[in-house]
């Protein structure tokens, strides 16, 4: 009988329900001060059955509203009120109303009315009225407050309707024990399930990662050569950063002592790269430049804008505090601390940090070697003439580009003709040189047998159906010591499968620390369709909206062969296994392309 209710607030909501005449409002008027006195900040939301007005004719707010303002907010230093004219036939929507409250100003919302909604409630019952119970029909009743002589089954929590303190105890306990329901689960999380060779995305990723051992070999490289490489050992700081306690601004270093002198005698000047050799005493200061070491004895500095100098003395305005505007030696990185951990990918900031510690060389892992080929008699080399009924090979180029961006060394094996002999030769040759062999095409049902036969002869292979779109078929296995990925042939599917399955494998192989795709929350600006039990990756464009949130819309037609949809997109909108659609205006997660595409 009750309608679904989701509490949209980060605080608990508790309803009171009763037949009219039970004394609901009287009880709430007694309960509210008791709860307040026990430290609970309350918001109350009351349902009214009839037209009502809280305003008085003649008041400005009343007149402006009657003149046609749909919303009117009247405010003073003691109170503000928002009035909204909502000429709807139907009952107001509790979830929407709750969202109008300031959840950070209250610990609990008490709701009077909205009897039919499935929100947690206390039922008030007076036998003398001769009305039926509500709890027998409504499973959301947490307790029944009734008279002494009322019969209740033992499993129903009973409260005394005349004992306000007892009801307050119950409400307080409820508020304390309440926990916000978990946020919408992330798509791609561990709870997804598949069966046999039919795998959820996460299961596929985990099965693959279980087979990946990071490359062991490392090499020492000049700092200039190490861009996008993976650090093989922890970089331990040989120095304190900053090396000396120094000034954060241009101004005056001084001795903070109490009582604080009115003015300070200027003893000298320290420029960056120089030092003041003496020891400052109470009542003394030096002129100092940003980054210059603080003289011994000095323990604070005041910027030039808050200082005035005359006759060899300086006086300060503004607040003064011991230690202010001073960067302590080692506060960024202490000598002997791990400045960068092994497994870190070295980008611009990391290279700068290593340089700041004085490193000219770094120990990095060997780059993974990836061999790439395409298969299919219809696939032609770009630059050659396109034969009838054929297509140019694009997959090899998307795959190579993504592998290179991940810092891999790439061997291009070209297009392998559809013959067992050619494929056997290509695969065994590739496996001898590469850590990973990537092919595309030929893994969907219908043509799988052919690759299956060759791989079974020289390695081991699994053909999976991943519960995702695009990119359902995926072959994964080993040829000798090399990992083999047979990616689906459709160009978009190839890229999406690379992003989701090959990327984590290459990162782990390269020695990068546990890497996870970073999903971001966004709002759907249009309906995204999917199907339950399948994860849908729609090519999409995410943009920051005026509301400060990311908004996402699809790039248009989503054919798994349409590379233009990848070009237009800056992310994949991810509709997880549990959803069959995300409506416009609803939250969803996106997987930004980041620097990989």
Tokens representing 118 are 């499935």
Closest to Mg ion by CB, 416 or 524: 416
d(CA 430, CA 479): 9
470 lies in the site for ligand AMP, by CB under 6 A: no
Residue 175: φ, ψ to 5°: -65, -40
We find the least distance from the C-beta atom of residue 476 to ligand AMP, in angstroms, to be: 15
Helix (H) or strand (E) holding 171: helix 164-177
Does 491 participate in binding ligand AMP (rule CB under 6 A)?
yes
Non-local (6+) Cβ contacts of 169 within 8 A are: none
Residue 302 interaction partner, one of Mg ion, ligand AMP, none, beta carbon < 5-8 Å per kind: none
Piece in contact with ligand AMP (CB under 6 A), picked from 121-129, 179-187, 249-257, 439-447: 439-447
- Please identify, among the stretches 25-33, 113-121, 194-202, 483-491, the one whose residues bind ligand AMP according to the rule CB under 6 A: 483-491
In the range 529-558, which residues lie near ligand AMP by CB under 6 A? Answer: none
Q: 62 or 450: whose CB is closer to ligand AMP?
A: 450
Of these, 246, 374, 467, 555, which contacts ligand AMP (CB under 6 A)?
374
Interacting residue with ligand AMP among 407, 459, 489, 592 (CB under 6 A):
489
In the structure encoding, which two tokens stand for residue 327, read together?
Answer: 């960067």
Q: CA torsion, points 223, 229, 234, 237, in degrees to nearest 10?
A: 30
Residues 6+ apart with CB under 8 A from 163: none
Residue 440 contact among ligand AMP, Mg ion, none, beta carbon within 5 to 8 Å by kind: ligand AMP
- Per CB under 6 A, the segment of 96-104, 152-160, 373-381, 526-534 that binds ligand AMP is 373-381
- Asked if 378 touches ligand AMP (CB under 6 A), the answer is yes
Q: Are 229 and 256 in contact (CB under 8 A)?
A: no
Query: Which ranges constitute the DSSP H helices of 232-332?
Result: none
Q: Please report whether residue 447 would count as binding ligand AMP according to CB under 6 A.
A: yes
Rg (CA), the chain: 35
Cβ proximity of 574 and 588 under 8 Å: yes
Can you tell me which of 12, 187, 459, 488 binds ligand AMP, judged by CB under 6 A?
Answer: 488
Residue among 246 and 494 whose Cβ is closer to ligand AMP: 494
Residue nearest to ligand AMP as judged by C-beta position: 489
Q: 141-146 and 313-316: which strand pairing? A: unpaired
Which residue's CB is nearer to ligand AMP, number 218 or number 398? 398
Q: Which residues pair with 110 in a beta bridge?
A: 14, 44
Residue closer to Mg ion (CB basis): 330 or 441: 441
Among Mg ion, ligand AMP, none, what binds residue 246 when CB lies within 5 to 8 Å by partner kind? none
CB of 487 to Mg ion, least distance (A): 11
Q: Of 350 and 393, which has the nearer Cβ to Mg ion?
A: 393
C-beta of 488: minimal distance to ligand AMP in Å? Answer: 5
CB contact set of 260 (below 8 Å; sequence gap of 6+): 320
293/441 with CB nearer ligand AMP: 441
Enter the tokens of residue 256: 């903070």
Structure tokens at 77: 């230093």
Beta carbon nearer to ligand AMP, 15 or 441: 441
Report the residue number, 330 or 376, with the smaller CB distance to Mg ion: 376
Q: Using CA atoms, how far apart are residues 411 and 426, in angstroms rounded to an integer?
A: 12
Say which entry of Mg ion, ligand AMP, none residue 504 contacts (CB below 5 to 8 A, set by partner kind). none
The answer to whether 134 touches 126, Cβ cutoff 8 Å, is no
**Residue choice 442, 477, 511, 592 for contact with ligand AMP (CB under 6 A):** 442
- Minimal distance, residue 411 CB to ligand AMP, in Å: 16
Q: What is the DSSP string of 185-223?
A: PPTT-TT---BTTEE-HHHHHHHHHTT------EEEEEG
Class of residue 159 by CB neighbours under 10 A (exposed 0-12, middle 13-18, buried 19+): buried
Q: Give the DSSP letter of residue 366.
A: P
Q: Which is nearer to ligand AMP, 477 or 489 (CB)?
A: 489
Q: Of 108, 73, 113, whose CA–CA distance to 91 is shortest?
A: 113
424 closest CA partner among 377, 490, 432: 432
395 binds, among Mg ion, ligand AMP, none (CB under 5 to 8 A by kind): ligand AMP
DSSP character at residue 50: S
Task: Give contact residues for Mg ion (rule: CB under 5 A).
Answer: 376, 441-442, 489
Mask for 231-270, x = binds ligand AMP (CB under 6 A): ----------------------------------------
Distance between CA atoms of 225 and 219, rounded to whole angstroms?
A: 11
Q: Which residues would be at the binding site for ligand AMP (CB under 6 A)?
A: 374, 376, 378-379, 391, 393-396, 440-444, 447, 488-491
């Amino acid at each position: 009988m009750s309608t679904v209710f989701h509490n949209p607030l980060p605080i608990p909501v508790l309803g009171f329900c009763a037949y009219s005449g039970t004394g609901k409002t009287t009880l709430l008027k007694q309960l509210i001060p008791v709860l307040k006195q026990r430290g609970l900040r309350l918001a109350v939301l009351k349902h009214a059955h009839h037209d009502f007005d809280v305003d008085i004719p003649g008041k400005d707010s009343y007149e402006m509203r009657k003149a046609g303002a749909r919303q009117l907010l009247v405010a003073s230093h003691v109170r503000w009120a928002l009035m909204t004219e909502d000429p709807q036939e139907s009952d107001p929507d509790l979830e929407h109303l709750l969202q109008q409250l300031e959840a950070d100003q209250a610990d609990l919302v008490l709701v009077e009315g909205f009897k039919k909604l499935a929100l947690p409630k206390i039922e008030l019952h007076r036998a003398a009225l001769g009305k039926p119970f509500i709890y027998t029909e409504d499973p959301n009743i947490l307790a029944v407050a009734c008279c002494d002589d009322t019969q209740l089954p033992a499993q129903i929590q009973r409260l005394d309707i005349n004992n306000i303190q007892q009801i307050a105890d119950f409400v307080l306990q409820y508020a304390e024990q309440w926990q916000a329901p978990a946020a919408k689960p992330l798509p791609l999380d561990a709870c997804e399930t598949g069966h046999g060779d039919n795998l959820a995305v996460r299961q596929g990723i985990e099965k693959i990662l279980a087979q990946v051992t990071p490359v062991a070999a490392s090499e020492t490289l000049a700092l200039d050569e190490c861009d996008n490489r993976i650090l093989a050992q922890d970089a331990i700081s040989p120095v304190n950063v900053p090396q000396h306690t120094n000034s954060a601004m241009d101004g005056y270093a001084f001795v903070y002592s109490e009582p604080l002198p009115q003015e300070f005698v200027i003893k000298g000047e320290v420029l960056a790269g120089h030092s003041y050799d003496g020891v400052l005493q109470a009542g003394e200061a030096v002129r100092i430049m940003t980054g210059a070491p603080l003289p011994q004895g000095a323990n604070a500095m005041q910027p030039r804008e808050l200082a005035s100098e005359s006759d060899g003395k300086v006086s300060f305005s503004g607040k003064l505090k011991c230690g202010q505007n001073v960067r302590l030696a080692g506060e960024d990185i202490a000598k002997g601390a791990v400045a960068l951990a092994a497994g870190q990918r070295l980008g611009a900031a990391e290279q700068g940090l290593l340089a700041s510690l004085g490193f000219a060389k770094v120990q990095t892992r060997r780059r993974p070697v990836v061999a790439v080929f395409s298969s299919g008699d219809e696939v032609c080399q770009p630059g050659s003439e396109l034969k009838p009924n054929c297509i140019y090979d694009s997959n090899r180029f998307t795959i190579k580009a993504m592998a290179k961006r991940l810092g891999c060394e790439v061997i291009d094996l070209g297009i392998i003709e559809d013959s067992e002999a050619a494929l056997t030769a290509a695969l065994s040759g590739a496996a001898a040189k590469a850590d990973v062999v990537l092919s595309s095409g030929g893994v969907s049902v219908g043509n799988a047998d052919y690759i299956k036969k060759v791989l079974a002869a020289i390695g081991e292979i699994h053909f999976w159906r991943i519960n995702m779109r695009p990119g359902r078929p995926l072959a994964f296995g080993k040829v000798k010591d090399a990992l083999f990925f047979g990616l689906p042939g459709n160009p978009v599917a190839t890229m999406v499968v690379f992003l989701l399955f090959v990327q984590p494998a290459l990162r782990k192989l390269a020695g990068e620390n546990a890497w996870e795709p970073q999903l971001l929350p966004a709002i759907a600006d249009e309906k995204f369709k999917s199907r339950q039990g399948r994860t849908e990756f729609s090519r999409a464009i995410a943009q920051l909206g005026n509301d400060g949130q990311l908004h996402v819309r699809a790039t248009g037609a989503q054919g798994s062969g349409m590379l233009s949809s990848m070009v237009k997109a800056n992310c994949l909108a991810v509709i997880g296994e549990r959803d069959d659609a995300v409506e416009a205006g609803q939250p969803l997660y996106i997987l930004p392309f980041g620097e990989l595409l």
